[in-house]
């Protein structure tokens, strides 16, 4: 299996990154959630997706934190994503069946959270922040200021993503291993929202025109 063919779509706002960087220290601060998202699709180029006819999808979303499964959820947003995936697969000619009806394809959905820790060096930022602190306001015009005890800081952020994975169950029934043949990943801000689930899933499928049955 080779999941070597991939597509990447950046929110339109990120296209202006290099231009904005010369004007501001925070070029993505004013981007909308939609503009901040990154859509990545990956698939096995050896697979003939038109050979599959049916699929089954998980009725909940797996929650993975720092590589560990924490459980499953079924929120309003989760249900919206599940429905959006069904709508797109149905539109491509695939037929939904129960998981005990030997579906050709299995669809899993995961919400992924990773904590990342880093070190921020203050000296490189001090010249920038000096422009926002005015010594004249405190009656010390002409004075410079500094913080001798602040040389670095440790910070932690949580990065989130939504993963949709398609596995080949048709050939698993013939004794082969269950292999992943397509995946879609969404990264960015405000991903798990019911109101935008349909548009986000559609973007992944728009990047995957090969996902269609013979009857499509």
CATH code of the domain containing 109: 3.30.160.670
Say which range, 48-52, 124-128, 131-135, 201-205, has the weakest mean pLDDT: 124-128
- 22-42 average pLDDT score: 62
- 94-102 average pLDDT score: 93
Checking if the pLDDT of 81 tops 60, the result is yes
Checking if the pLDDT of 92 tops 80, the result is yes
* Residue 131 counted as domain residue: no
Checking if the pLDDT of 136 tops 70, the result is no
* Residue 120 counted as domain residue: no
Q: Contact 39/203 with Cβ under 8 angstroms?
A: yes
Q: Across the chain, what does the average pLDDT equal?
A: 76
What's the predicted TM-score (pTM) here?
0.70
CA–CA separation, 3 vs 45, rounded Å? 7
Checking if the pLDDT of 11 tops 60, the result is no
Which positions ≥6 away from 5 have C-beta within 8 Å? Answer: 42, 43, 44, 45
Q: Count of domains in the chain? A: 1
CA 6, 10, 12 angle in degrees (round to 5)?
Answer: 150
Which stretches within 11-130 are classed as H helix? 17-21, 33-36, 76-91, 123-130
* Residue 19 confidence (pLDDT): 33
Q: Which domain holds residue 88?
A: 5-10+34-115+159-206
Share of the chain above pLDDT 70, in %: 62
* Residue 64 counted as domain residue: yes
Structure tokens at 134: 């005015």
Specify the higher pLDDT residue, 176 or 57: 57
Q: Is 46 helix (H, G, I), strand (E, B) or coil?
A: coil
Q: Is 42 helix (H, G, I), strand (E, B) or coil?
A: strand
- 142-164 average pLDDT score: 65
Model confidence at 128, pLDDT cuts 50, 70, 90, reads: very low
CA–CA separation, 181 vs 107, rounded Å? 11
* Residue 150 counted as domain residue: no
Please write down the HEC assignment for all residues of 54-82. EEEECCCEEEEECCEEEEEECCHHHHHHH
DSSP assigned state of 135: G
* Residue 29 counted as domain residue: no
* Residue 144 confidence (pLDDT): 57
Nearest to 129 by CA among 26, 16, 19: 26
* Residue 126 confidence (pLDDT): 47
* Residue 193 counted as domain residue: yes
CA–CA separation, 86 vs 103, rounded Å? 14
* Residue 38 counted as domain residue: yes
CA–CA separation, 185 vs 105, rounded Å? 18
């Amino acid at each position: 299996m080779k999941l070597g063919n991939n597509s990447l779509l950046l929110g339109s706002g990120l296209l202006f990154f290099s231009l904005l960087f010369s004007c501001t220290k925070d070029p993505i601060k004013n981007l909308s959630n939609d503009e901040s998202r990154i859509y990545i699709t990956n698939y096995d180029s050896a697979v003939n997706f038109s050979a599959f006819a049916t699929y089954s999808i998980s009725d909940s979303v797996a929650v993975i934190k720092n590589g560990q499964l924490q459980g499953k959820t079924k929120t309003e947003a989760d249900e919206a994503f599940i429905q959006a995936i069904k709508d797109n697969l149905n539109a491509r000619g695939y037929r939904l069946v129960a998981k005990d009806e030997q579906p050709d394809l299995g669809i899993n959905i995961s919400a992924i959270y990773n904590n990342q820790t880093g070190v921020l060096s203050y000296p490189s930022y001090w010249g920038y922040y000096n422009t926002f602190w005015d010594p004249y306001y405190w009656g010390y015009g002409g004075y410079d200021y500094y913080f001798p005890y602040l040389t670095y800081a440790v910070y932690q952020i949580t990065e989130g993503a939504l993963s949709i994975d398609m596995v080949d169950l048709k050939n698993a029934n013939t004794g082969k291993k269950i292999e992943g043949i397509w995946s879609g990943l969404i990264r960015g801000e405000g991903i798990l929202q019911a109101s935008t689930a349909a548009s986000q899933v559609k973007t992944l499928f728009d990047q995957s025109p090969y996902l269609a049955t013979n009857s499509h």
